[in-house]
Amino acid sequence: MISVTRVHTRVKTQGIGHPWSAKADRLQSATGIMLGCFLLLHMHFESSILLGKEAFYQVVQLLEGGMFSSTGHGFPMVTKVFSVFMLLVVILHAAVALRRFPAQLGQWRALRSHLGCINHRDTHAWFWQLITGFILFFLVPVHLFTMILNPEIGPHLSAERVYHDNAWLLYALLLPAVVIHAMIGLYRVAVKWGITAQRSGLRKLAKVLIIYLLCLGSASLVAYMLIGSELSIPVQPYVPQ
């Protein structure tokens, strides 16, 4: 015999979804795509130093609006303003991403236990994105504040920053963290929003891009170190031949 119990009082449920959660997801994805695409462009612009000082100098003048200057020299203010804009984007991205960050020791233990019980590649990828995101929370603002306070860029001035000011220590930590975080992030955005269902192929592409960008960034960093080691103090800005 089945008995039916009628509840005459309305049961209120809280915390079952919220409109802001969906908006935060879209905002996180949008800012993540913006930052990931910027990283791809930024690393290739920076790697023009591998083609020589003249090539890097011309790229900098182009990006800083040198075509609008009577002397052909770019405006460092462009770098400063853009760095401020990117800092705001990073802050916004971090703010909406922190809501998914484990805030308590028990949550970290549950996460590690969960990772040990299952062999799911996307979950492990998310974990590494979490770790690199935590590292970038401290490193990226330092890099952007440096560019805001000293926006002068050039073959000699950039090499001075890397070699004589020991910025290579920052970039050696920043490079792997930002590349891994960005490429995993772009992969997860593509899967999350149904851009592609070919997860296996997309994972391979992300791995290839990670290796490629790490090699490209490392080669560029070495080039700046070699140029910086040949400069004498005080460093004079590069003058094209």
Q: Is 143 annotated as a binding residue?
A: yes
pTM for this predicted structure: 0.84
| 241 domain residue, yes or no | no
Q: Which residues contact 163 (CB under 8 A, 6 or more apart)?
A: 224, 225, 227, 228, 229, 231
| 185 domain residue, yes or no | yes
| 44 domain residue, yes or no | yes
| 166 domain residue, yes or no | yes
Q: Is 8 annotated as a binding residue?
A: no
| 208 domain residue, yes or no | yes
Q: Is the distance from CB of 78 to CB of 153 less than 8 angstroms? A: no
Whichever domain contains 76, its CATH number is 1.20.1300.10
| 14 domain residue, yes or no | no
| 12 domain residue, yes or no | no
Q: Is 93 annotated as a binding residue?
A: yes
Residue-level pLDDT, tens digit, the chain, 241 residues: 555 555 455 545 454 456 677 788 889 899 999 999 999 999 999 999 999 999 999 999 999 988 887 777 888 899 999 999 999 999 999 998 887 666 655 655 666 666 666 666 777 777 888 889 989 999 999 999 999 999 989 999 999 999 999 999 999 999 999 999 999 999 989 888 777 777 888 889 999 999 999 999 999 999 999 999 999 888 888 888 7
The number of domains in the chain is: 1
| 107 domain residue, yes or no | yes
Helices 168-192 and 155-163 pack at an angle, to 10 degrees, of 100
Q: Is 181 annotated as a binding residue?
A: yes
Residue range of the domain that includes 158: 20-229
CA separation, residue 83 to residues 140, 142, 199 (Å): 11, 11, 34
